[in-house]
């Protein structure tokens, strides 16, 4: 694994900073170079949003989209319909790079697996189960060699005005009780492993892009992301993990779990 040269990290953050405030941004950001796993970053301005929040929505879609896509409010069926439509629409357009960038929430798992849905559950987030954004003109420079240019205002790290104290959703005693329960499940042979997580929250005032830049500089992730939703929310990801990489031609799937990827 290559050690991060400062130019790649700086170029990634400069690309994020240069994006104008009046253009919504979705970005997949590589901050550590690798010839296979992290060669480039992707920055794009989305136009259409496909959202599933219990019902399916096509937001800001042109008339020809809504005429050809019939939403059934079944998340997977509608997702297939939307992906099939855009695949056919762009099949013969080699002059532009386009695609969907977005979020599949953990909450989607309760829809995909009925056995999980019967257990008591309190949603940990107000994000929709699916929030995908269509990006018709993607800027994907190799190793982030160039950033988009704009005459408009850009974000700065000084735009972070205040971050409050992080607070856990569960007490230490509650968390340790969960760990003991999991150990008992493993000992009984009921499960092989458990991903035990909990949300932390803090008040924040300032530019989310500036916050993202600070976080990217500290974490230097292979698979960073900034997703600005249509309703003003922003998701910032600092993942070292490649969940799934599908080659549609060979149908080969590659995964690089989080274990062992910390530098």
Given this model, what pLDDT does residue 94 score?
A: 55
Q: What share of the chain is helix, strand, coil (3-state, %, to 5)?
A: 30, 25, 45
Given this model, what pLDDT does residue 114 score?
A: 77
Identify which of 143, 137, 132, 145 has the alpha carbon closest to the alpha carbon of residue 37: 143
| Distances 169 to 74, 120, 196, 234 between C-alpha atoms, Å | 31, 17, 13, 20
Contact of 83 with 90, CB cutoff 8 Å: no
Given this model, what pLDDT does residue 182 score?
A: 95
The residue with tokens 């969940």 is 243
Identify which of 40, 49, 46 has the alpha carbon closest to the alpha carbon of residue 15: 40
The span from the CA of 149 to the CA of 1, in Å, is 31
Given this model, what pLDDT does residue 158 score?
A: 55
Contact of 1 with 30, CB cutoff 8 Å: no
Q: What is the pTM of this model?
A: 0.81
- Residue 251: which region, alpha, beta or left (left: phi > 0; alpha: psi -120 to 50)? left
Given this model, what pLDDT does residue 69 score?
A: 95
Given this model, what pLDDT does residue 4 score?
A: 37
The span from the CA of 119 to the CA of 140, in Å, is 42
User: Can you give the residue ranges of every domain in the chain?
Assistant: 6-157+219-256
The span from the CA of 180 to the CA of 166, in Å, is 25
The span from the CA of 164 to the CA of 36, in Å, is 38
- 3-class DSSP assignment, residue 25: coil
Q: Mind listing the pLDDT tens digit of every residue in the chain (263 residues)?
A: 223 344 678 888 888 888 888 899 999 988 887 777 777 788 999 999 999 999 999 999 999 999 999 999 999 999 999 999 999 988 776 556 789 999 998 888 888 887 776 666 666 667 899 999 999 887 655 544 444 444 444 455 556 668 889 999 899 999 999 999 999 999 999 999 888 888 899 998 889 999 999 999 999 888 899 999 998 899 999 988 888 888 888 999 998 887 654 54
Contact of 228 with 24, CB cutoff 8 Å: yes
The span from the CA of 139 to the CA of 135, in Å, is 10
How many other C-beta atoms lie within 10 A of the C-beta of residue 74? Answer: 13
Architecture of domain 6-157+219-256 in CATH?
Answer: 4-Layer Sandwich (3.60)
- Residue 27: which region, alpha, beta or left (left: phi > 0; alpha: psi -120 to 50)? beta
């Amino acid at each position: 694994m290559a050690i991060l040269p400062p130019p790649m990290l700086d170029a990634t953050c400069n690309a994020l900073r240069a994006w104008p405030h009046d253009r919504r941004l979705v970005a997949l950001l590589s901050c550590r170079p690798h010839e296979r796993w992290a060669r480039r970053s992707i920055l794009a301005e989305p136009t259409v949003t496909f959202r599933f929040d219990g019902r399916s929505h096509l937001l800001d879609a042109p008339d020809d989209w809504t005429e050809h896509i019939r939403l059934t409010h079944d998340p997977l069926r509608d997702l297939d319909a939307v992906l099939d439509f855009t695949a056919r629409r762009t099949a013969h357009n080699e002059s532009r790079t386009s695609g969907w960038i977005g979020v599949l929430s953990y909450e989607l798992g309760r829809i995909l697996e009925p056995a999980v849905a019967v257990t008591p559950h309190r949603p940990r987030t107000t994000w929709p189960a699916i929030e995908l954004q269509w990006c018709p003109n993607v800027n994907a420079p190799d190793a982030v060699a160039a950033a988009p240019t704009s005459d408009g205002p850009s974000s700065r790290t000084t735009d972070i005005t205040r971050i409050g104290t992080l607070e856990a959703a569960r007490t230490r005693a509650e968390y340790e009780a969960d760990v003991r329960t999991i150990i008992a499940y493993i000992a009984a042979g009921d499960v092989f492993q458990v991903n035990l997580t909990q949300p932390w929250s803090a008040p924040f005032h300032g530019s989310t892009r500036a916050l993202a830049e600070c976080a990217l500089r500290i974490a230097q992730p292979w698979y960073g992301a900034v997703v600005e939703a249509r309703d003003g929310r922003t998701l910032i990801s600092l993942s070292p993990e490649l969940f799934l990489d599908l080659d549609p031609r060979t149908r080969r799937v590659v995964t690089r779990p989080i274990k062992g990827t910390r530098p």
